[in-house]
Amino acid sequence: MKGKFRQSSIGARMLLVMGVVLLLQTGLITGSIIGSGAIERLSENSYDIFNQKIITRKNYLEYEMISRWSNLTEAEQKIEAHFSRVLEKNNAGFDEIETNSDLAVELLRNSAEDVIELLRRNSVTGAFLVLEGSPAVDDNGGTVKNGLYFRDMDPSSTSQDNSDILIERAPTAITKELGIPMDSEWHPVFLFSGENDQRNLFYQNPIRAAQSYPEAEPKELGYWSKPFYLDERSVPVITYSMPLRAPDGTVYGVLGVEITLDYLSKLLPYTELSEETNVSYVLAVRQPDFNQYVPVMSTGPLYTYLYSGGDGVLTAGEPVRENCFSLVDNGNFTDTTYACVQQMKLYNNNAPFENDQWVLMGVIENRYLFGAADSARTTFFLAVALTLLIGAASIFLTIRSTTHPIQSLVNQVRGLNPRQPVRFQRIHIREFDELTNAIETLGEEVADSASKLSQIVEMASFPLGAFEYTIGGREVYFTTNFFKIFLIRQEKGLQYLPLDRFKELMLPIAEYIDPALSTDKVKTFRLTDSQGSIVWVRLKLIDSEQHMLGIAEDVTQEMVEKQKIEYERDYDLLTNLLNRRAFHSRMRQLFQNRSRMKVAALIMMDLDNLKYINDTFGHDYGDQYIRAAANALRIGSPENAVISRMSGDEFYLFLYGYDSEDQARERIDRLQKSIQTSTLELPNRPSFRIRASAGVAWYPKDSESYEQLIRYADFAMYSVKNMTKGRFAEFNITDYEKSAYLLHNSEELNRLIEEELLDYYFQPIVNARTGQVFGYEALMRPRLTSLETPLEVLSLAKSQGKLYQIERLTWFLALKSFTGFKNIPPDCRLFINSIANQGLSESDEKALEAQYGPYLGSLVVELTEEEERVESYTRKKISFLKRHGGQVALDDFGAGYNGEVSLLAVRPDFIKVDLSIVRNCHQDKNRQEMISNIISFARKNNSLVIAEGVQSREEMDTVISLGVDYLQGYYLGVPSLTSQPIPDKILKEITSRSR
């Protein structure tokens, strides 16, 4: 019984299988991208980059405001010294300054140079000195004060004759003596018109603070003012001012500096926040207990557009990230707008004005902050849809290209003529072609009447063919390989053709003759076979009166080897891009014909993450990463571009022939997008993005010298690699000049670390009862003149990410010096200062144990309160110390972030009372009470108390009487490279107290 089977076509079966495969592939790719969270991470990266830029700018501005602009101590000391000499000379006191106008003028005359020096040294736009005393009243009821006020609108340049300075306030007698021009708004005195006038606060607030806090240091009473106008037609400024207090406690004036908002705006370049210019920096003061920020000044167009016409106050909405929130719409918003806020610590804790919380804000709209992620999401789904469309079209074309030749073969079989030789067209399907070959073999009679020439040619070891034509004849004789060499199909068995037919076959290939490689008697053809490969054929012609002979040979191998030699000379074999030699040669040609270049850009690009790929996945994947980057460069580069791989992960590109920089920037943006959208398949990483950092130098704007352009592009790329990788940055001559200091000091830091150019000086810690040395604190001292203080070393190491190396040197070098001391008692302790957010690695801990194991029990690690600790590092340090019998001390207690919270969290063996509390404690009951409270707390928690910064006999006697356990300070011993004994005088003073 015969079964019946349902028939189906090849096309239907192929459609089913290929359709299922296409859907599965698309589903897997879509699921992988969505499941990996790559697009969400792109949003996170966008925020992190934006926030980091604000942090960097905040740190810079905070440094300028605290360390430079508000550093008035030296000027304060000089002015006080001048005042003291003048008052002593005139047999007067500080309280007589304001009532004696002649005396006030003489004091101001002696202090004018100090105020000008303050203006120059602090790089500010203005400096002033206002005298305090019994107020005089003008005709309008305002308070009149004597003083000086100088202004320099451009602190970056300095004139030797002070011609760049204007006098805003100064007595007439002094202005004539100084020879400095006066501003159009000059007045001989300061006039304060109202109690709460914003223009008066720069003077009134420090005075009030000095009156409210008579025991505080003047620098602790400094005040940063909000913007105001000194005069109605003046420029807006902010000021920093502090009271001046005489040794007897008399407040005799206010000293301060000003910074114009115009100068301040230059320090807040909003263009660094985003490639889009519609962003803003806002320097503001946070309203206490309100989510509102009152602007001090702003840069960038976005804030101006959003808050024009109102009070300008920014109101915080919902938080979206740490330190980032949406802004409440005031009616001008066209998109959700975000503000990233970084608080600036301008005042110490418990300072009079600590509630003035200054912040630096970056303001940006949603479409610019998260636009890349939104674009990536849209592009991905469009790509999925396009993939499905292309896949469906490919399936249709594949099925058609497969079934159509089969149907054609069926039609040929049906139309065969039995009287003619059997010939079939090849359909390039092996099984069917083998079938047609078998049919043709059965149907043809083998008849080979090859000539002598054919036999010679066929015996050759390389493809060779020939033809012969008798002049005047009607036929052309040819060997069996002749037309095959020229890739022309010819029926088998025929070795003679009519002359017209021969010409008809040969004429079409005449257009493939390469003129550069041909002569009258030798023709070289450049042909392309069915596989797309290039075939080179050389035809030599020999003419005589009766015959024409042509010999054709396949010279493909010869030409390929020749081209290969030329290619390997000029091209990088891994990427098929120009190599270094060829790039420089091409650039020399272009620079010899500069008219073609117009506006051009030299791009120096360095691949990111190549070392990571080589180390993680191997160098084969590293080569694939380089090839993928090269392919992205080819795809994204315009026609007028010279592309080269210079070395391992370094590429040079030169784009030329543009009418403007903006036109070239559009092509550079396309190039960057081509790189950013390129990916590489890695094990367990299906879509690893290509990342590159690049620097751009412009011709002719930056330089017309090729060598200089290379240096500038290299600097721009270096800047990107050290800030935010993965960006294209244009060369900036200002940054180039400013970087000399940083580059130099970076090398100095590297040399300090590599050569261990640190000494540790040891200051004794003394038993408050016996006067014997209990231990030594190791204090860092750099040996380099360019990095003179530990603060400079730590600041630079932090910016370079090398705090760990400094932490490691502290442990090893301090122990090395300590163990070299002679006659050190076995129970002597070594106190070292550990960096709060760093901890030794396990390998370094083992090395420390191996070298200094017997001494680790004498180690006391001081945990500072200068910055918040990382708890994991703190726990690890404490565990390591306890394991070896070491101890923990809480340093600078009373001057940091945490106070009693730190005591509870760390449970230290020692509490070191900060020197700011110990200083002058014999004169201050409040300080004595604070020390007593600390000692009482320590006793309850089994901790010992060390008084730091003891500088006088009175301070020592006071803290001993209060009950401290140990003493440290310059009165007992200065830091030294060697262990120094306690002077007998000090020893007797201590022991006499304990009797």
* Same-domain status, 273 and 254: no
Among 130-144, 211-225, 618-632, the least confident range? 130-144
Structural domain contains residue 399: no
Q: What is the pLDDT of residue 421?
A: 64
Q: How many CA atoms lie within 13 A of 827 on its CB side?
A: 4
Q: Quickly count: other Cβ atoms within 10 Å of residue 67's Cβ.
A: 12
Domain end call among 369, 387, 417: 369
Calpha distance 819→74 (Å, rounded): 40
Confidence category of residue 141, pLDDT binned at 50, 70, 90: low
Structural domain contains residue 43: no
Q: Is the pLDDT of residue 159 over 80?
A: yes
Give the percent of the chain with pLDDT over 90. 34
* Same-domain status, 235 and 280: no
Q: Where are the beta strands (DSSP E) in 617-757?
A: 641-647, 650-658, 679-682, 685-689, 692-699, 728-730
Q: Quickly count: other Cβ atoms within 10 Å of residue 288's Cβ.
A: 9
CA dihedral 370, 375, 376, 382 (to 10 degrees): 160
For β-strands 251-260 and 280-286, DSSP reports them as unpaired
For β-strands 887-893 and 859-863, DSSP reports them as parallel
659: helix, strand or coil: coil
Q: How many domains does the chain have?
A: 5
Domain end call among 345, 369, 393: 369
Q: What is the pLDDT of residue 76?
A: 92
Structural domain contains residue 284: yes
* Same-domain status, 253 and 278: no
Q: Average of pLDDT values for 354-369?
A: 90
Structural domain contains residue 868: yes
* Same-domain status, 553 and 626: no
Among 297-301, 371-375, 562-566, 669-673, the least confident range? 371-375
Rg (alpha carbons) of the chain, rounded to whole number: 43
Q: Which residue has the higher pLDDT, 559 or 829?
A: 829
Looking at residue 847, which CATH number applies to its domain? 3.20.20.450
Q: Which residue has the higher pLDDT, 706 or 747?
A: 706
Q: Is the pLDDT of residue 891 over 70?
A: yes
Confidence category of residue 403, pLDDT binned at 50, 70, 90: confident
Domain end call among 369, 385, 415: 369
Q: Which are the contacts of 660, defined by CB distance < 8 A and separation ≥ 6?
A: 599
| pTM score over 0.85 | no
Q: How many CA atoms lie within 13 A of 326 on its CB side?
A: 11
Tokens found for residue 707: 């060598």
Calpha distance 434→936 (Å, rounded): 104
Q: Is the pLDDT of residue 697 over 90?
A: yes
For β-strands 910-913 and 944-947, DSSP reports them as parallel
Is the Cβ–Cβ distance between 896 and 866 less than 8 Å? yes
Structural domain contains residue 444: no
Looking at residue 679, which CATH number applies to its domain? 3.30.70.270
Is the Cβ–Cβ distance between 310 and 303 less than 8 Å? no
571 φ/ψ angles, rounded to the nearest 5 degrees: -125, 150
H/E stretch holding 599 = strand 599-607
Structural domain contains residue 553: yes
Q: Which residues of 342-369 are buried (b: 16+ CB within 10 A; e: fewer)?
A: bebebbeeebbbeebbbbbbbbbbeebb
* Same-domain status, 557 and 623: no
Could you read off the pLDDT of 503-525 as tens digits, one per residue? 888 888 888 888 888 888 888 99
Looking at residue 229, which CATH number applies to its domain? 3.30.450
Q: Is the pLDDT of residue 404 over 80?
A: no
Structural domain contains residue 189: yes
Q: Average of pLDDT values for 142-161?
A: 88
* Same-domain status, 700 and 779: no
Confidence category of residue 274, pLDDT binned at 50, 70, 90: confident
* Same-domain status, 727 and 777: no
Domain that includes residue 112, residue range: 70-264
Is the Cβ–Cβ distance between 223 and 354 less than 8 Å? no
| Tally: H helices and E strands in the chain | 30, 38
Question: Could you tell me which residues are beta bridge partners of residue 607?
Answer: 692
Q: What is the pLDDT of residue 223?
A: 95
Q: Quickly count: other Cβ atoms within 10 Å of residue 975's Cβ.
A: 16
Q: What is the pLDDT of residue 402?
A: 73
* Same-domain status, 582 and 718: yes
| Residue recorded with tokens 């905070």 | 62
Q: Quickly count: other Cβ atoms within 10 Å of residue 214's Cβ.
A: 9
Q: How many CA atoms lie within 13 A of 790 on its CB side?
A: 15
* Same-domain status, 613 and 716: yes
Could you read off the pLDDT of 165-178 as tens digits, one per residue? 999 999 988 988 88
Nearest to 128 by CA among 169, 92, 91: 169
Q: What is the pLDDT of residue 480?
A: 77
Could you read off the pLDDT of 755-790 as tens digits, one per residue? 999 999 999 999 999 999 999 999 999 988 878 888
Q: Which residue has the higher pLDDT, 511 or 432?
A: 511
* Same-domain status, 361 and 324: yes
Structural domain contains residue 441: no
Question: Could you tell me which residues are beta bridge partners of residue 223?
Answer: 241
| Residue recorded with tokens 């070491």 | 886
Q: What is the pLDDT of residue 449?
A: 42
Q: What is the pLDDT of residue 456?
A: 56
Confidence category of residue 929, pLDDT binned at 50, 70, 90: very high
Tokens found for residue 991: 């022991």
Question: Could you tell me the CA-to-CA distances from 815 to 64, 818, 819, 820, 840 in Å, in that order?
Answer: 37, 5, 6, 8, 15
* Same-domain status, 611 and 548: no
Q: Which are the contacts of 521, defined by CB distance < 8 A and separation ≥ 6?
A: 540, 541, 542
* Same-domain status, 126 and 199: yes
Nearest to 956 by CA among 988, 909, 908, 910: 988
Q: Average of pLDDT values for 605-626?
A: 89
Is the Cβ–Cβ distance between 209 and 223 less than 8 Å? yes
Burial of 624 (0-12, 13-18, 19+ CB in 10 A): middle
Q: What is the pLDDT of residue 134?
A: 56
Q: Is the pLDDT of residue 450 over 60?
A: no
